[in-house]
Amino acid sequence: MKFVINPLFKFSMAREEQKTMLSRNRLCEQHQQTLSAVATHWKKYIIILTLLLTQQSNAQTTIRFQPNITPNVHYLGDVLLITHDKNNLAKLPLDSTPITGQQITKKQIMSWIKNKKGHFSYQWRGKKNAVVKQRIKTSGIDLLSKAQTELKNQLQAQDYSRIELISKTKLKGSAVPLSAFKAKISGQYPSAKRVCVRLNYNKRSIPIWFTVKAYKKVLVAKHKIKHHTALHADDFIIKERNIAGLKALPYSQLPSAMWLQKTINADQILTAKQLIATPAVTKGQKIQIKVVNRGISLTTEAIAQHDGYIGQTVRMKNVQTNKFFRAVVTSSNQAEISS
């Protein structure tokens, strides 16, 4: 039995083979292009790397002063910052160490190098002179911490409930050891709102300022209280308040035999400056008057026209006759007339 191949089938097979060949050719072309691109990239990279290495090998030595130069230097590299150091200049030992405050110039340092190494190509950058600074033994933070501790210890001994200290003083370090500083603080109670702590060493003094908040439980007025008013517990309440900056002592308990010499407002702290001893005789009060004349004494009543303390002479008004006279205050609600 013979099979007959359809011509159309042969034509279809031929077209498929042609498409496969074309696809293979395209893949080959793309692969070649990729290889070519990679090769081009590596060529550029090698060229750039070669140029960089060439430039580095031919780079000129650059020299500048170190940002901080202290007396504790031993090599040239401690004084100068040297890049592309082909002559190993940084490792040159110094003939001597500089002293604090000494000025080093570019001219001096380059003359010294040329005496040691001879002439060479270099480029100088930055400032042309530098000053040798002292070695820091105590940091600014340590100085601030010491001052804060000293002030806090002093305030804690003054019976505050809590203390807050803030300082905006910016301190530099010191070559003096921290233990050598002695603190000096002006003491007062209540504390001022701003306090200066001085850290002293020999004739030197470092002022450090603190903003102080010192809290204590004190008597505060519930409402406005007029002057010449006797104190009553119902008029006050105990509150924790910042008393730093007060010009007088605050009270935590009501004192006896005292009254207000000035009006105080609501929420105001009661202080010693606002009080005065209650007078023995007050204005408008009925007073017992003792009249002594030639060994004979009589007692009458009068109205005090103003306040008076023992030993003071106060103007009185007779209750019966409405006449005015003067009497000496002898005790509470009592006065005397002698003739």
Q: Would residue 310 count as lying in a domain?
A: yes
Q: What is the CATH number of the domain that holds 91?
A: 2.60.480
Same domain, 223 and 203: no
Whole-angstrom CA distances from 257 to 260, 313, 315, 332 are: 11, 21, 23, 12
Same domain, 119 and 103: yes
Q: Would residue 106 count as lying in a domain?
A: yes
Same domain, 148 and 190: yes
Same domain, 123 and 146: no
Same domain, 73 and 115: yes
Q: What's the gap between Cα 14 and its chain centre?
A: 91
**Residue type for position 163:** I
Same domain, 126 and 172: no
Which of 277, 295, 324 is at the close of a domain? 277
Q: Would residue 166 count as lying in a domain?
A: yes
Which of 70, 102, 131 is at the close of a domain? 131
Q: What is the CATH number of the domain that holds 260?
A: 3.90.1210.10
Kindly state the average pLDDT of the residues 17-43: 67
Same domain, 104 and 168: no
Average pLDDT score, the chain: 86
- Each residue of 226-275: pLDDT tens digit? 998 888 999 999 999 999 999 999 999 999 888 999 999 999 999 999 99
Query: Residue holding tokens 């407002």?
Result: 265
Kindly state the average pLDDT of the residues 69-97: 87
Structure tokens, 251: 């009270």
State the Rg of the chain over Cα.
49
Same domain, 144 and 168: yes
Kindly state the average pLDDT of the residues 138-142: 90
Percent of the chain with pLDDT over 90: 48
pLDDT at residue 2, as a whole number: 45
pTM, rounded to two decimals: 0.57
Among residues 324, 321, 325, which one has the least CA distance to residue 338?
325
Spatial contact of 104 and 73, defined as CB atoms under 8 Å apart:
no
Same domain, 208 and 147: yes
Q: Is the confidence at residue 70, as pLDDT, over 70?
A: yes
Q: Would residue 168 count as lying in a domain?
A: yes
Q: Would residue 219 count as lying in a domain?
A: yes
Kindly state the average pLDDT of the residues 40-49: 68
Same domain, 230 and 195: no
Q: Is the confidence at residue 219, as pLDDT, over 90?
A: yes
Q: Would residue 226 count as lying in a domain?
A: yes
Q: Would residue 200 count as lying in a domain?
A: yes
Same domain, 77 and 109: yes
What stretch of H or E contains 221? strand 204-221
Same domain, 166 and 230: no
- Each residue of 85-132: pLDDT tens digit? 888 888 999 988 888 888 999 899 899 988 988 888 888 989 999 988
Q: Considering only residues 11 and 63, tell me which one the structure prediction assigns the higher pLDDT.
A: 63
Which of 213, 247, 265 is at the close of a domain? 213
Spatial contact of 267 and 221, defined as CB atoms under 8 Å apart:
yes
Q: Is the confidence at residue 72, as pLDDT, over 60?
A: yes
Q: How many residues does the chain have?
A: 339
| Domain around 301 | 286-338
Q: Would residue 39 count as lying in a domain?
A: no
Q: What is the CATH number of the domain that holds 323?
A: 2.30.30.760
Q: Is the confidence at residue 51, as pLDDT, over 70?
A: no
Concatenate the DSSP letters of all residues of 267-311 into one string. TPBPBGGGEEEPPSB-TT-EEEEEEEETTEEEEEEEEESS-B-TT
Spatial contact of 327 and 316, defined as CB atoms under 8 Å apart:
yes
Q: What's the gap between Cα 157 and its chain centre?
A: 23
What stretch of H or E contains 173? none
- Each residue of 290-322: pLDDT tens digit? 998 887 888 889 999 999 999 999 999 998 899
- Number of domains composing the chain: 4
Band (pLDDT 50/70/90 cuts) for residue 9 is very low
pLDDT at residue 230, as a whole number: 86
